[in-house]
Structure 1
Amino acid sequence: MTVDHASGVHLYDPDGNEYLDVYNNVPCVGHAHPHVVEAVHAQMQRVNTNTRYLQPGLVDYAERLLATFPDELGHVMFTCSGSEANDLAMRVAHWHTGGTGVIVTANAYHGVTETVATFSPSLGQHVPLGPHVRLIPAPDPLRLGVSGAEFNAVMRASVQAAVDDLQRHGIAVAALITDCAFSSDGVHPDPTGWLAEAATVVREAGGLYIADEVQPGFGRLGDGWWGFMRHGVIPDIVTMGKPMGNGVPIAAAVFQPELLDSFGARIRYFNTFGGNSVSIAAAQAVFDVIEDEHLIANAQAVGRQIMAGLLSVTANDAAVAEVRGSGLFIGVDLVCDRERWTPDAALASEIVNRLRERRVLISASGVDGNILKIRPPMAFRAGDADRLLSEFDAVCTQLRSEGILH
């Protein structure tokens, strides 16, 4: 479809046809939110400049943002994109640890700069991983065949194996970096807890733990502001982007301050557009809306509504291996063989396309593209969820009658 304009959780094509947006996490408070639009417009009329000049708005926003983090995280640096934030985080990790080794999950995505692309396996085989990169399995209990304490032990052992292999090849560990919703791996916000153990392994080897909150952050998971909090771990660095400005480019990296003592004194870093006046105004307005409209609580309530509805609709479908998620970040795992949990990307594509024909937009994720990804703006309300579930039910009924879903 061609997008002409948008409002709230709705997109419109040039002919005025409306589509329900159940995929776009960038405009987290809703497309064209009037408070964000007005804040950007007002700031554009005053001044838009970079952080070489003192600006109270920049300081106010930095303090407001940092107040959402544990006390250990107390320094923020602004960039334009999550890719840049992860690039900066890795530069600091390299400088602080003296290492270059990076550990990521099997189908992770962390950005598109040359450095970050080397540890973003989801970009595909034509973007080769660096020799300094080691992969651990996606945190997928279904396919690992373990749960509870055994799952934690398997994940911890996989991180330890990655550390050992790096060291065996003479590569010192710089960081473990994870997307706390594991979106590209197939949406795995649960189980929680194992990341704390993984971070311990990496720190014992001299590395850092970096929480990539570009996708799960700002309350999308419906349980506090940041995904790492659900795991009971305090990262060394946290990165964020995408929804931060509701589509206006702004991102950031938040650090434990001691990491920047030497880096700040010896390394020249400046980002011309990072933290510019207009982007900060947008970010401040997004923060206002999240708080004023109680969007974190909304993400929790509406997410539970969607999860319950999906489980009800698919209760008798063997092709649905699992419905999982947290808040407004939900995955539906589709398989064609429940004994081996063989991914069914064709079925996922069929459902995505048929929903689009009914003017409901979702997507698919995972290394095999078999995970339906439901990730609407956080302004998604109960009535929107009702419509999604009704259309999803209609598509499933149609597919069952054709013998495609069973």
Structure 2
Amino acid sequence: MSMPNAFVPGRGNLSVENEALVARRARVLGPAYRLMYETPLHLVRGEGVWLYDETGRAFLDAYNNVTSIGHCHPRVVEAIRAQVGVLATNTRYLHTAILDYAERLVATFPAELGQVMFACTGSEANDLALRIAKARTGGTGVIVTANAYHGITESVAAFSPSLGASVDLGSHVRTVPAPDRYHLGDVDVGAAFRAGVEAAIADLKRHGIKPAVLIVDSLFTSDGVLPGPTGFLQGAADAIRAAGGLFIADEVQPGFGRTGEAMWGFARHGVVPDMVTLGKPMGNGQPISAVVMRPEVVADFGRNARYFNTFGGNAVSCAAAMAVLDAIEAERLQENALDTGRYLLERVAAVCAAHNAVGDVRGVGLFLAVEFVADRATRAPDRARASRVVNAMRERGVLISVSGQHHNSLKIRPPMVFSRENADLFADVLGEALTATA
């Protein structure tokens, strides 16, 4: 299956200038890259919740969580500018930036998670977490949800089924159904998810593979954004630990206060992971990622293997990441995610109520999904309608994308500086797009 919501060369209403840019991309960047939307965007700057194209037109960004506290946030811009003019070095030298940030970051986690290691991307963080887990457990088996995305390194792509059928899953990987309350109906979500994990563990063992990890995005973002009910993760975590494996929470997308209810998505479920991986919004665009873990988990790995990352934990990235924490705290962005997120969810649900094509509206904090179905009774997915709505909103100046195994759920993930005024604009445009694509 092709990338959802992708530009297809030869289609779309492109200007002469942008046609030339598409041709240049193809010539120098090769065939693997993709552009979003039927008519791709040519962006020249960003500020707060807004992105601007080459004509000066503003687009409300309700999708990009890399710059989670807003595009070009002044605190982060100034922190990078100041630090890069003083010192930019790596972890093989003593410097205080990495220690100051590490101590502050770890303090936001449960006490059991007391140590942190740094990398540059979420993919690297998940790759490192897997290495540590293998050393700790002696196992290799990995369990993920059916449409999970965890990264693009060779080892991590092998347990990222959302990359599509052309990217092979490893023989050591097992997928389980996502904990989807909408499609499960009256079934106990936690019990069903635990049963899926236990079945995967049994299948690994039957094939002579010792389980190493269960890794989940704690909002199941790529599976369609599945926020509840809270508490359903505990049984699955217990199951993997009983099998000698570790539980890893991938907080690259749910973390840093986005749910509003907690700093970290896993906290909503009352479970303490063995490791937590971080990335994307950690530096608000400056590359930095991390693995936060129980000290006993990394003890064997640390004794037997040295870890070094040329840019992971460099002073400039640590300064940017510290500024992100400053902004979340000083500007009360977690609280805003909760308040504005509730308001946005109410507005979106109200707009969608009159449209039979919408089967479910769900979300927590500033992370929402709108699921399109061809039939409300059967809940059969309608990928085409979701894609039409995404592109209709893009034409009206609001940016989102899609999620889910069938790419039929709108993925709504605005910066945490989103306001009620922004939410009203979003809901109004969604209403227009639903009507226009009926």
Cα distance in 1 between the residues matched to 2:357 and 2:210: 43
1:15 alignment partner in structure 2: 55
Q: What per-residue deviation string (whole Å, max 9, x for no partner) do you get for residues 291-336 of structure 1?
A: 0100000001111111101111111222111100110010001100
Matches within 5 A, 1:136-155: 136-147=176-187, 150-155=188-193
1:41 equivalent to 2:81? Answer yes
Cα distance in 1 between the residues matched to 2:233 and 2:111: 19
Gaps of 5+ in 2: 1-40
SS of aligned partner of 2:89: coil
Which of 291, 297, 300 is the matching residue for 1:253? Answer: 291
1:395 alignment partner in structure 2: 433
1:306 equivalent to 2:322? Answer no
1:90 alignment partner in structure 2: 130
2:217 alignment partner in structure 1: 179
Which of 320, 325, 329 is the matching residue for 2:367? Answer: 329
Question: Counterpart of 1:283 in structure 2: which amino acid?
Answer: A
Which of 15, 22, 46 is the matching residue for 1:6? Answer: 46
2:357 alignment partner in structure 1: 319
Q: What per-residue deviation string (whole Å, max 9, x for no partner) do you get for residues 20-67 of structure 1?
A: 001000101110111110110011110101011111121111010000
Normalising by the residue count of structure 1, what TM-score does the alignment of the two structures yield? 0.97
2:68 alignment partner in structure 1: 28
Moved over 3 A (4+): none
Which of 365, 370, 388 is the matching residue for 2:408? Answer: 370
Cα distance in 2 between the residues matched to 1:372 and 1:290: 26
- Deviation of 1:368 after TM superposition, in Å, equals 1.1
1:56 equivalent to 2:79? Answer no
1:358 equivalent to 2:396? Answer yes
SS of aligned partner of 1:332: strand
Cα distance in 1 between the residues matched to 2:410 and 2:341: 15
- Deviation of 1:184 after TM superposition, in Å, equals 0.6
Normalising by the residue count of structure 2, what TM-score does the alignment of the two structures yield? 0.90
SS of aligned partner of 1:252: strand
Residues 61 and 414, structure 2, Cα contact 8 Å, conserved in 1: yes
- Deviation of 1:138 after TM superposition, in Å, equals 1.0
1:339 equivalent to 2:377? Answer yes
Cα distance in 1 between the residues matched to 2:210 and 2:434: 50
Further displaced range: 62-71 or 311-320: 311-320
Residues 179 and 190, structure 2, Cα contact 8 Å, conserved in 1: no
Matches within 5 A, 1:158-307: 158-307=196-345
Cα distance in 2 between the residues matched to 1:359 and 1:194: 37
Cα distance in 2 between the residues matched to 1:368 and 1:93: 31
SS of aligned partner of 1:194: coil
Residues 69 and 417, structure 2, Cα contact 8 Å, conserved in 1: yes
Question: Counterpart of 2:265 in structure 1: which amino acid?
Answer: G
Question: Counterpart of 1:126 in structure 2: which amino acid?
Answer: S
Cα distance in 2 between the residues matched to 1:145 and 1:29: 35
Cα distance in 2 between the residues matched to 1:135 and 1:396: 34
Question: Counterpart of 2:289 in structure 1: which amino acid?
Answer: A
Residues 390 and 400, structure 2, Cα contact 8 Å, conserved in 1: yes
Cα distance in 1 between the residues matched to 2:430 and 2:267: 32
Question: Counterpart of 2:411 in structure 1: which amino acid?
Answer: K
SS of aligned partner of 2:229: coil
Residues 355 and 434, structure 2, Cα contact 8 Å, conserved in 1: no
SS of aligned partner of 1:96: helix
Which of 114, 121, 124 is the matching residue for 1:81? Answer: 121
Residues 181 and 228, structure 2, Cα contact 8 Å, conserved in 1: no
- Deviation of 1:14 after TM superposition, in Å, equals 1.1
- Deviation of 1:338 after TM superposition, in Å, equals 1.6
Aligned CA RMSD, in angstroms, stands at 0.9
Further displaced range: 315-324 or 251-260: 315-324
Cα distance in 2 between the residues matched to 1:280 and 1:109: 26
SS of aligned partner of 2:85: helix
Question: Counterpart of 2:347 in structure 1: which amino acid?
Answer: G
Question: Counterpart of 2:171 in structure 1: which amino acid?
Answer: P
1:118 alignment partner in structure 2: 158
SS of aligned partner of 1:76: strand
Q: What per-residue deviation string (whole Å, max 9, x for no partner) do you get for residues 233-252 of structure 1?
A: 00000000000000000000
2:7 alignment partner in structure 1: none
SS of aligned partner of 2:410: strand
Q: What per-residue deviation string (whole Å, max 9, x for no partner) do you get for residues 182-231 of structure 1?
A: 11101102122121110000000000000000000000111111000001
How many residue pairs get aligned? The number is 398
| Identical residues among aligned pairs (%) | 58
1:68 equivalent to 2:112? Answer no
SS of aligned partner of 2:66: coil
Q: What per-residue deviation string (whole Å, max 9, x for no partner) do you get for residues 77-105 of structure 1?
A: 00000000000000010010000000000
- Deviation of 1:142 after TM superposition, in Å, equals 2.0
Cα distance in 2 between the residues matched to 1:321 and 1:392: 15
1:109 equivalent to 2:149? Answer yes
- Deviation of 1:151 after TM superposition, in Å, equals 2.3
